Amino acid sequence: MKKDAKIYVAGHRGLVGSAILTKLMEQGYTNLVYRTSKELDLRDKGAVDEFFAEEKPAFVFLAAAKVGGIVANNEYPADFIRDNLLIQTNVIDAAYRNNVEKLLFLGSTCIYPKLASQPLKESYLLTGELEPTNEAYAIAKIAGIKMCESYNRQYGTKYISAMPTNLYGPNDNFDLKTSHVLPALLRKFHEAKESNAPFVEMWGTGTPKREFLYSDDLADACVFLMNTYEGNEIVNIGVGDDITIKELGEKVKAVVGYEGDIQFDTTKPDGTPRKLVDVTKLNGLGWKATISLEDGLQKAYQWFLENELTTAK
Ligand code: GFB
């Protein structure tokens, strides 16, 4: 991407899009376009068509999506499949009709089969059944990947798809009902410390393993891929290491400085037992994550303290 190329970041207020926008600014890209969801509802095809015809971006980071943690995915599958299919279909097709040079689509590691062997290689896609709690979301994301591949095959476009592992960082969703585990734990442990609560309740058994990537690292990888990767195959983005949810709880507890206990609510779902991504391909292309979980947790907690506590929820 030339530094003055017009780049559209879809979803620039979210965890992923905000990190990509910041990264592009840091790297000296000057012609950035973005819209809030109020200004442009990406589920509305007419509005998306109008936006692309008017702005004619050369590059698109498709980071807009309806996302949520395990319980939100499980309770609102219709919203997850509908909104994601609409957003990605409208954006990818408008990109094609408006001659976008290159588009990066963001998937998720929940697209891989629930019981696939670990670490998850890109080739495991569509080799087994999905995790039921997020099947609707995963099917939408798989459709997005296949849409990019199909447009490349039929129309000769250059659309690439990246599969990030579980993410965290600034502008995350800290709502306890709908968030992912890491932001939820930052809030839960912080509030327990403030109120001197005797214990924090975590969901499930604590035995599932997850890998966590800081959003700034993800953004760096996305800009790197946009600039260097031309392939039709998906690319995993992760750190190559995971921990149990219980271990995550202990780490968050230490970062927050909470001294009570942890209890597990086993009526809540565990989800996939493990989803560690194989990052051989990304490392081979020349990119590696640099932010450790310890450093990332400190940064995320700091961000939470400075931004989230002042926002009414
Ligand atoms: O992050 P999370 O909601 O989603 O949950 P997934 C990860 C694990 O943490 C599960 C446990 O085993 C949860 O039961 N957990 C413990 C908690 N305490 C909590 C808590 O307070 N809040 C939450 N949210 N979890 C999602 C998918 O799966 O990951 C999405 O549903 C997407 O589709 C996303 O792929 C990255 O990692 O299980």
Mutate to test the pocket of ligand 1, among 15, 16, 67, 70 (most ligand atoms within 8 A of CB): 70
Kindly give the number of the ligand 1 atom that is closest to the alpha carbon of 179.
24
pLDDT tens digits along 54-63:
999 999 999 9
Active site residue 137: yes
Catalytic entry in 8, 34, 112, 137:
137
Sign of CA dihedral 135, 111, 12, 301: positive
pLDDT tens digits along 217-244:
999 999 999 999 999 999 999 999 999 9
Average pLDDT, the chain: 96
Distance of CA 223 to the CA centre of its chain: 15
pLDDT tens digits along 261-300:
999 999 999 999 999 999 999 999 999 999 999 999 999 9
Distance between CA atoms of 178 and 212, rounded to whole angstroms?
A: 18
- Strands 59-62 and 7-10, by their bridges, are parallel
Complex prediction ipTM: 0.97
Q: Give the mean model confidence (pLDDT) for residues 149-172.
A: 97
**Which of 162, 163, 180 is CA-nearest to residue 171?**
180
**Is the distance from the beta carbon of residue 270 to the nearest atom of ligand 1 less than 6 Å?**
yes
Q: Any idea what DSSP says for residue 131?
A: P
Residue ranges of the domains in the chain? 7-171+211-241+275-292
Distance between CA atoms of 174 and 183, rounded to whole angstroms?
A: 5
Instruction: Give me the amino acid identity at 256.
Output: V
Domain 7-171+211-241+275-292, CATH among 3.40.50.720, 2.40.50.140, 3.30.420.40, 3.40.50.410: 3.40.50.720
Q: What is the pTM of this model?
A: 0.96
Instruction: Give me the amino acid identity at 10.
Output: A
pLDDT tens digits along 78-111:
999 999 999 999 999 999 999 999 999 999 999 9
> In angstroms, what is the span from residue 69 Cα to ligand 1's centroid?
5
Q: Whose CA is nearest to atom 22 of ligand 1?
A: 181
Mark the binding-site residues for NADP(+), compressed into ranges: 11-17, 106-109, 141, 164-167, 180
Kindly give the number of the ligand 1 atom that is closest to the alpha carbon of 188.
21
Read off the pLDDT band of 313 (50, 70, 90): very low
Instruction: Provide the pLDDT for residue 20.
Output: 98
For the chain, the C-alpha Rg in angstroms (whole number) is 19
Instruction: Provide the pLDDT for residue 311.
Output: 54
